[in-house]
Amino acid sequence: MPPGYHGCYLRIDVSDGSADHVPLPAGVLRRFLGGAGLGAWLLSRESGACPDPLAAGAPLIFVFSPLVGSPLTTSAKFAVVSRSPLTDRINDSLASSGFALAGKRCGCDAIVVVGRAARLSVLVIDDGRVRLDPGGHLRGATCGAAEKTLRTRLGPDYKIASIGPAGERLVRYATISHDGRHAGRGGSGTVLGSKNLKAVAVRGTRYSTWAHPRELTERSRQLSKRSFGPATAKYRELGTAANLLTFNRFGALPTRNFQTGTFDAAAQVSAEEIRATRTRTRASCAACTIGCEHIYSIEDGEGTRLEYESLFALGPLCGVGDPDAVLRASKLCDELGIDTISVGGTIAFAMECVERGWLDEPWLTFGRGESVLRAIELAGRREGIGHLLAEGSRRAAGAIGHDSIRFAPQVKGLEIPGYEPRALQTMALGFAVGTRGADHNRSGAYEVDFSAAVDRRRVTVDAVRHAIDTEDRAALMDSLILCKFLRGVFDDFYGEAAEMLNLVTGWDTSAAELRRAAKGIVHAKREFNRRVGWTPAEDTLPERFLQGALPNDPAAALSRERLRAVVDEYHRQRGCEEPSPAADNASA
Amino acid sequence: MAVAMQVELLGIPRQRAGVAELEIEAATLGQLLDALAARYPSLADLFRAGRADRLGPFVAANLNGDRFVTDPRTRLAATDRILILSADAGG
Ligand code: SF4
């Protein structure tokens, strides 16, 4: 088995507490690496004919990577892979820190959980030995409280990933939280909740080896040094929240459920304003030299992390210009364990339905921070209107009717992140074809829009290869795993990635081989989706984005035909040859 | 010939310079970045030179919110509004 790996995964059936170490073929590791890639392979292998992401037999997979535990900056990450209860398609979400390090030290490259515990439980993995502890006393606990209680009981060398009340109640976009960070998108926490698991606790002593430790240490030192430079300045100095004013300036800031691309009160909720008026501390994931986390004080309590996606989704998307309300809303989502983008998108959608008179919840109106807070609480606990909100915008649209699916802000059921598709049309393509739905983490196509390579408001087939490149690069980063905020430091990403991987594993992989691996990983995800029912018609955007320009930017219009042309070209270049009805059926 | 034009700073350039908008005299994009770096030295590492025909990797420039430009020799007009932002928008 190559250094950097243990060569097996731990398969646990929580119905009866049984556990097996299952060998992982070396060839599979070389092709799929780890993280999202190995997760896609494992998901295909373990899914069988299981029809429902929340069925007992459906697997939930924690995947580490060859770089986890190495001194390479930002490498302490893990992926959580399953079929999404929100989209019914593949879902892979990433989180960081001690859980990745301790989980890999359990002596496996992945942990596959199947089955359903008889009652709410905690899965404890101690150096590869598995047991189920009672979890009833943690029922209803927030993510942070559950983690703290378990750490006190089990000891500080256990690292804990937990769900909040939302995961217990099967809110379809519940997260898995560890150390304040979340495997956030697509409902990983819902799947854990469906297995009657409140948390997974890991500790271990089985360190993997490195093929060339001295050279790896020197390479890591150089990479860390570069990570202090201008390529990561944004993340260190303002964090991703810096995007807000930039996007607003380009008419690309989704506002009021994507009804427009600019927000009058953008300055009030900008990172610059929040930074100027609040105490701020910085934090980072384990083994990270960048430290992109900016934690801001809130009047009545501990501070909260603020990232662009939470800021846009709980602020402008809901028409809210009160920074305190946005910070409190973001903190509430962290406590309940719900994805800020999906809950913000679903609330904004519901607000528009109220505005149109299709939903009788007069308190739920754009611009009111208190309404957003109340709606999050109800969704996270599935109370009242929260039952509807907890289903996500696509299912909510189905229940509300009136053809409201036309403006439900989702692709394949996953709510759209903070990039207005009409103003950023390469990103629009990235959203349409994403394997887990509308996704800015698996497609970096926005980078292309903010460059001279394309006209961001008039996408053509020339943009397709750029979109594919960013998707491939993301697939590799998510499989190695390295943080995407490091991407700017690489002059030759594939070449440097090959060098790092070889120092860990002793392989002789090349940039060209990693390019092929990246494509193979994207292909594996697409194949999984095809197996569970994907058709080309899913690769599209809601009608709203295909009918006319943004109100204050006549140039920002994306026609049905133009989207169809680029999606078809994408399918051709990716080798999915079926002719695509693409934009013909927005609600598909 | 150098002409005065409006420049908008976004993201890290704005944060470091402490201003959102200012007037700069320049004939080309390269001259404009040089003038900005001279006025706000904390911007210099973001503007570190790329090639003669290409901006460095850490900065992006846009004309009037419409078109991104990468060639420092791009000629600028007094009617242009130049947007300067760090290259990694998004993420
Ligand atoms: S840059 Fe941010 S998200 Fe990435 S590893 Fe560091 S702290 Fe974590």
Per-residue model confidence as pLDDT tens digits over A489-528: 999 999 999 999 999 999 999 999 999 999 999 999 999 9
Give me the mean pLDDT over the A308-321 stretch: 98
CB A236 within 8 A of CB A527: no
Residue with tokens 């809110």: A171
pLDDT in tens, A19-66: 999 999 999 999 999 999 999 999 999 998 777 999 999 999 999 999
With CA atoms as reference, the chain B residue closest to A251 would be B65
Q: How high is the pLDDT of residue A584? A: 38
Q: How high is the pLDDT of residue B51? A: 78
Q: A201 by DSSP, 3-state: which?
A: strand
**Does the pLDDT at position A430 exceed 70?**
yes
Task: Please indicate whether residue A291, judged by its CB atom, sits closer than 6 Å to ligand 1.
Answer: yes
Q: Which residues have a Cβ under 8 Å from the Cβ of A225 and sit 6 or more positions away? A: none
Q: B48 by DSSP, 3-state: which?
A: coil
Distance (Å) from the alpha carbon of A241 to chain B's nearest alpha carbon: 9
Residues of chain A with CATH 1.10.569.10: 228-415
Give the whole-angstrom CA distance, residue A545 versus residue A420: 9
Q: Quick one: tokens of A568?
A: 């078809």
Give the whole-angstrom CA distance, residue A475 versus residue A494: 12
Task: Please indicate whether residue A497, judged by its CB atom, sits closer than 6 Å to ligand 1.
Answer: no
B83: which chain A residues are within 8 Å (Cβ-Cβ)?
249
CB A288 within 8 A of CB A73: yes
pLDDT in tens, A251-301: 999 999 999 999 999 999 999 999 999 988 999 999 999 999 999 998 767
DSSP code per residue over A433-472: H-TTSS-SSS--HHHHHTSTTS-TTS--THHHHHHHHHHH
CB contact under 8 A, B89 and A238: no
Cβ of A493 under 8 Å from any chain B Cβ?
no
Q: How far is the CA of A340 from the centre of ligand 1 (A)?
A: 18
Atom of ligand 1 nearest to the CA of A485: 1
Give B21-28 contacts, CB < 8 A, sequence gap 24+.
B24/B82, B26/B2, B26/B76, B27/B1, B27/B2, B27/B3, B27/B75, B27/B76, B28/B72, B28/B73, B28/B74, B28/B75, B28/B76
Is the domain defined by A228-415 classed in CATH 3.90.340.10?
A: no
B9: which chain A residues are within 8 Å (Cβ-Cβ)?
none
Q: What is the mean pLDDT of chain A?
A: 96
Nearest CA to ligand 1 atom 5: A74
Q: How high is the pLDDT of residue A49? A: 74
CB contact under 8 A, A446 and B90: yes
Give the whole-angstrom CA distance, residue B42 versus residue B36: 10
Task: Please indicate whether residue A346, judged by its CB atom, sits closer than 6 Å to ligand 1.
Answer: no
Going edge to edge, which strands form the sheet with A301-305?
Answer: A280-283, A293-298, A301-305
CB contact under 8 A, B65 and A251: yes
- H or E stretch including A322? none
Q: How high is the pLDDT of residue B52? A: 78
pLDDT in tens, A449-460: 999 999 999 999
Amino acid found at B20: A
Atom of ligand 1 nearest to the CA of A287: 5
- Give phi and psi for A78, each to the nearest 5: -140, 155
Cβ of A272 under 8 Å from any chain B Cβ?
yes
CB A365 within 8 A of CB A351: yes
CB contact under 8 A, A444 and B88: no
CB contact under 8 A, B11 and A231: no
Task: Please indicate whether residue A284, judged by its CB atom, sits closer than 6 Å to ligand 1.
Answer: yes
Nearest CA to ligand 1 atom 4: A483
Pick the CATH number of A8-203 from 3.20.20.70, 3.40.50.300, 1.10.10.10, 3.60.9.10: 3.60.9.10
Give me the mean pLDDT over the A102-112 stretch: 98
- Domain-by-domain residue ranges, chain B? 3-9+16-29+40-86
CB contact under 8 A, B89 and A251: no
Q: How high is the pLDDT of residue A61? A: 98
Give the whole-angstrom CA distance, residue B61 versus residue A103: 44
Give me the mean pLDDT over the A469-483 stretch: 98
Task: Please indicate whether residue A292, judged by its CB atom, sits closer than 6 Å to ligand 1.
Answer: yes
- Give phi and psi for B86, each to the nearest 5: -75, 150
Q: Quick one: tokens of A490?
A: 């690489």
Q: What is the CA radius of gyration of chain B?
A: 12
Q: A558 by DSSP, 3-state: which?
A: coil
Give the whole-angstrom CA distance, residue B28 versus residue A553: 28
Third-level CATH fold of A425-585: 1.10.599
Residues of chain A with CATH 3.60.9.10: 8-203
Q: How high is the pLDDT of residue A586? A: 36
Give the whole-angstrom CA distance, residue A420 versus residue A438: 11
Third-level CATH fold of B3-9+16-29+40-86: Ubiquitin-like (UB roll) (3.10.20)
Task: Please indicate whether residue A483, judged by its CB atom, sits closer than 6 Å to ligand 1.
Answer: yes
Residues of chain A with CATH 1.10.599.10: 425-585
Cβ of A234 under 8 Å from any chain B Cβ?
yes
A231: which chain B residues are within 8 Å (Cβ-Cβ)?
57-58, 88
Least CB-CB distance to B58: which of A230, A251, A272? A230
Distance (Å) from the alpha carbon of B3 to chain A's nearest alpha carbon: 24
Q: How high is the pLDDT of residue A38? A: 98
Q: How high is the pLDDT of residue A184? A: 94
CB A483 within 8 A of CB A288: yes
B68: which chain A residues are within 8 Å (Cβ-Cβ)?
450-452
Give the whole-angstrom CA distance, residue B47 versus residue B28: 15
- pTM for the whole structure: 0.97
Give the whole-angstrom CA distance, residue B34 versus residue A303: 40
Q: Of A351-360, A378-387, B53-62, give the lowest mean pLDDT range.
A: B53-62
Q: How high is the pLDDT of residue B91? A: 76
pLDDT band at A577 (very low <50, low <70, confident <90, very high): low
Residue A503 Cα to chain centre, angstroms: 29
Give the whole-angstrom CA distance, residue A431 versus residue A418: 11
Q: Quick one: tokens of A439?
A: 């996704």
pLDDT in tens, A193-238: 999 999 999 999 999 999 999 999 999 999 999 999 999 999 999 9
CB contact under 8 A, B89 and A237: no
CB contact under 8 A, A237 and B12: yes
